[in-house]
Structure 1
Amino acid sequence: MDRGPTSTALADLTLDDRALVVGETLVFADCHVGRGPSSDVELPMGDGSDMIARIEALLARHDPETMVVAGDLLHSFRTIPRTVERVVDGVSAAAREAGTRMVVTPGNHDTLLNSVWDGPTEPAHRVGDTVVCHGHEAPDADADRYVVGHDHPTINIEGQRRPCYLAGESVYRGADVVMLPAFNRLLRGVEVNEMRSDDFMSPLITDADAFAPVVVDEDRDETLSFPPLGEFRHRLR
């Protein structure tokens, strides 16, 4: 285990609180506003103050020009509870007050996005040679690196499940892929320890063995980088 990112897919990226910064752009995914913990039904998730506070802190630390929500800002499919509207308003207000442009690249759960968000939406957002999208569909845009969400990866280490980033080099159409953990801390996520390529929902995961988990330990203020899953699975059992 290393004390910092080693994959070239993570070159020039800053990892922080289930988000990352590329250039002058802050990226996070899978807020799933409107979903409660460990539930498959739509539930208001409190007043959303924790999520908004974390976004405000990220904006203060990194002062980005742009903030991209890489899909699944919402969870609701049928209705938008008032609580959800307040949380989305709080997220957009945080960006506005920081002088940051907010962009949403819609995910598969964002079917009612237009009812709560009238700002810019893009199928994919480009930052130099990096393309940010949700990752539930194959992207149309070519890139040297894709940053996606969608699968909510976690890794179980010694009985403790932790959210993780997954970094793969030259794994999709010759490009690197970085998968973000879910920004919503109420979501359990999927445990990648034994997952194979077909177990992932994102079509950008074509070779799960090539993806290296990265855990940001906020309590110890350190980043833990692991070998690719194909080299490391036997140590995770």
Structure 2
Amino acid sequence: MTPAVDLPVLPVERALFVPAADALVVADVHLGRGADSSVDAPIDDGGDVRDRLESLLARTDPATVVVAGDLLHAFDGIPRGLERDLTALEECVADADASLVVTPGNHDTMLETVFDGPTPIEYRLADGETVVCHGHEPPQTDATRYVIGHDHPALSVDGRKRPCFLYGPTVYEGADVTVCPAFSPLAAGVTVNGMRTRAFQSPLITDVDAFQPGVWDDSSEELLWFPPLGECRRLL
């Protein structure tokens, strides 16, 4: 492990809180993935998402909740129970006196049929420096830092795969990039330990060796930072 990284964005479990913008960011919620799966027993991923989001809202008390893409899972249909789960998520945010913004991801082709809130392709937070987007396409908005999802990063530590954040200082046209893990409990994540830059899907990941992974530790309720992936490969 390495010393804590001094960031203006604060990782909290599988989400990021941006104090200067009073905003909570989650990525890759993939509502409907449980119903869209091939298992016989239904998986209540919507309930898990709602409960964890409710806990994060109580902890951070944000004015705005931003989904960094892939709020939905299915490309070409609305799975059974999705509208119920989405309504519960919206009510959870409203009950916390926060507004909900969704920046569409590549899975969100049906978003406009079920969600009537704001859906900008890229969203600049109230701090004026942070832009949130899904990360599957090059951003069109200049920023000091970008917060994205899309790649579902995870780090293998002692044989156990853990969802992780990736932080890259000045890696995309001079801007910082923070990649969030998937918020969905059903997204196992892509193990980044041995991955090279070309294996990532986001064009904002231009040099993965420069990205520092961080894993949330439930017992201490803090993020444990590891060396940049270029060094990490030799250690894990």
Q: Which moved more, 1:218-227 or 1:29-38?
A: 29-38
State the match for 1:19 in structure 2: 15
Q: Give 1:36 deviation, angstroms.
A: 3.2
Q: Is the 8 A contact 1:44 1:84 kept in 2?
A: no
> Would the aligned equivalents of 2:69 and 2:102 in 1 still touch at CA under 8 Å?
yes
Asked if structure 2 preserves the Cα contact closer than 8 Å seen for 1:166 and 1:178, the reply is: yes
Letter in 1 for 2:216: V
Q: Deviations over 1:26-70 (max 9, x none)?
A: 0000011111399699x9642621110111111111110100011
1:35 paired residue number: 33
Query: 2:196: which partner in 1?
Result: 196
Task: Tell me the distance in 1 between the aligned counterparts of 2:79 and 2:117.
Answer: 20
- TM alignment of 1:126-141, pairs within 5 A: 126-127=124-125, 128-141=128-141
Q: Offset of 1:166 from its aligned partner? A: 0.1
For 2:174, the equivalent position in structure 1 comes to 174
Instruction: Calculate percent identity across the aligned residue pairs.
Output: 54
1:187 is matched with which residue? 187
| Compared CA separation, residues 38 and 84, structure 1 to 2 (3 A) | closer
Q: Where in structure 2 are the equivalents of 1:55-204 lying within 5 Å?
A: 55-127=53-125, 128-204=128-204
Aligned to 2:224: 224
Distance 1:122 1:29 in 2: 15
Q: Residues 170 and 47 of structure 1: is their aligned pair in 2 closer, same or farther, counting only changes over 3 Å?
A: closer
CA distance in 1, matches of 2:43, 2:130: 32
Residue 235 of structure 1 is matched in structure 2 by: 235
- The alpha-carbon distance between structure 1 residues 55 and 158, as it changes in their structure 2 partners (threshold 3 A), is same
Contact kept, 8 Å, 1:3 with 1:222, in 2: the verdict is no
2:153–2:192 Cα contact (<8 Å) kept: yes
Report how far residue 88 of structure 1 moved: 0.8
Q: Is the 8 A contact 2:153 2:163 kept in 1?
A: yes
Opposite residue 52 of structure 2, the aligned amino acid is R
Say if 1:37 and 1:187, in contact at 8 Å, map to a contact too: no
Which consecutive unaligned segments of at least 5 residues does structure 2 have? none
Amino acid aligned to 2:49: M
Contact 1:123–1:133 (CA<8 Å) still a contact in 2? yes
* Paired letter, 1:192: V
In structure 2, give the amino acid aligned to 1:197. T
Encode CA deviations 1:73-115: one digit per residue, 9 max, x unaligned: 0001121023111111111111111110100000000000011
* Match in the other structure for 1:215: 215
Secondary structure of 1:234's match?
coil
Please report the TM-score for the alignment, with normalisation by the length of structure 2: 0.93
2:140 and 2:13 map into 1 onto residues whose CA distance is 29
Q: Measure, in 1, the Cα distance between the counterparts of 2:179 and 2:38.
A: 22
Question: Structure 1 residues 82, 18: closer, same or farther in 2, change over 3 A?
Answer: same
